[in-house]
A and B are shown apart, each in its own frame.
Chain A
């Protein structure tokens, strides 16, 4: 059974960089057509797609975050990561990693449990 698990600092200071990692188990990131994505959910709000990457490092970013966002993949560790620079209180959210069921133009069929990031 595929599992995804987010790891991160919990608390980030304003103007600092948020770094999160998603570790995939029960399946390999490598050599597949799947894309792997980041989604966030501010407290009491809806879901916002952040960006996605495949094993080759091809990425798609939400245009509203693109200037601050970097998504990378480490196939040797079966992980992908998110870096968001210059964070503000508006970046406080529950951050999820998830798998697209096929390409980036596909729904998200496996999700991590999420990690809460507070910017303060």
Chain B
């Protein structure tokens, strides 16, 4: 299985500031035939199911605010929230779907 490791485990950021969450895969999730990274990010608020934010490492799902962006290459990926809003408090999960789907352990984002 591909192991996904997120850092940090928890993060506190002031309102309006940038939040950055990292995700590292134990092996490449780049599918050479289409040159796409099989990497997604989800947001999970308390008492709610996960919500898909980003797929193909950098494509925003419909309806997701543009303050959320994904980037990365190789085995290192990043989710960035450019200006933290109160409603962004949540746990964020990365997931690879290149092979048997696996998730990171989650990163808890709070307001400082």
Q: Residues of A at under 8 Å CB distance from B?
A: 45-49, 60, 62-63, 96, 98, 100-101, 105-109, 111-114
Contact = CB atoms under 8 A, between A and B. Distances in A.
Interface string B81-105: 0000000000001010110111111
Interface string B52-76: 1001000001000000000000000
Interface residues of B, number: 22
Given A48-B103, A100-B97, A109-B52, 14 more contacts: A46-B93, A46-B105, A46-B106, A47-B50, A47-B103, A47-B106, A49-B102, A63-B100, A105-B98, A106-B55, A107-B52, A108-B40, A109-B61, A113-B49
B106 A105 contact: no
Contacts of A62: 100
A49 B38 contact: no
The A contact surface, by secondary structure, is loop
16 contacts: A45-B105, A46-B106, A47-B95, A47-B103, A47-B106, A49-B100, A49-B101, A60-B100, A63-B1, A96-B50, A105-B98, A106-B55, A106-B97, A107-B95, A109-B61, A111-B50
